[in-house]
Amino acid sequence: MTAVKHHVMIKGVKDGLVFLLDDTCEFAEVIQELKHKLEKTHQKILTGPIIHVYVKLGSRLISDEEKDLIRDIIGQKGNLLIQSIESLAAAPSALVASMTDIRLVKGMVRSGQTMLKEGNILFLGDVNPGGEIISSGSIYVMGSLRGMAHAGVDGDETAVIAASHLRPTQLRIASIISRPPDEWGINEAFMEFAYIKNGKMEIDKIHHLHKLDLMQ
pLDDT, tens digit (0-9, with 9 covering 90-100), for 48-57: 788 888 998 8
Terminal C-alpha separation, the chain? 58
- If you average pLDDT over every residue of the chain, what do you get? 81
If you average pLDDT over residues 14-36, what whole number do you get? 88
Phi, psi of 156 (to 5 degrees): -80, 100
Q: Please work out, in degrees rounded to the nearest 5, the angle formed at the alpha carbon of residue 73 by the alpha carbons of 72 and 76.
A: 75
If you average pLDDT over residues 181-186, what whole number do you get? 62
Instruction: Answer yes or no: is pLDDT of 2 > 50.
Output: no
The string of pLDDT tens digits covering residues 53-109 is: 899 888 777 778 888 999 999 888 778 888 888 876 554 444 544 445 788 888 899
Cβ neighbours of residue 119 closer than 8 Å, sequence gap 6 or more: 101, 102, 103, 135, 136, 137
Share of the chain above pLDDT 90, in %: 27
- The reply to whether CATH 2.40.128.20 applies to domain 90-215 is no
Cβ neighbours of residue 19 closer than 8 Å, sequence gap 6 or more: 8, 9, 10, 34, 53, 54, 55, 56, 74
Q: How far is the C-alpha of 139 from the C-alpha of 151, rounded, in Å?
A: 6
Q: How far is the C-alpha of 47 from the C-alpha of 10, rounded, in Å?
A: 16
If you average pLDDT over residues 12-23, what whole number do you get? 86
Instruction: Answer yes or no: is pLDDT of 111 > 60.
Output: yes
What is the per-residue pLDDT for 152?
94
The pTM is what?
0.54
More confident site: 93 or 210: 210
Domain ranges of the chain: 8-86, 90-215
Helix axes 64-75, 27-36, angle to 10 degrees: 10
Judge whether 146 and 169 are in contact, CB under 8 Å: yes
| Per-residue confidence band for 147, with pLDDT thresholds at 50, 70 and 90 | very high
Residue whose C-alpha is closest to residue 188's, from 71, 86, 78: 86
Judge whether 194 and 162 are in contact, CB under 8 Å: yes
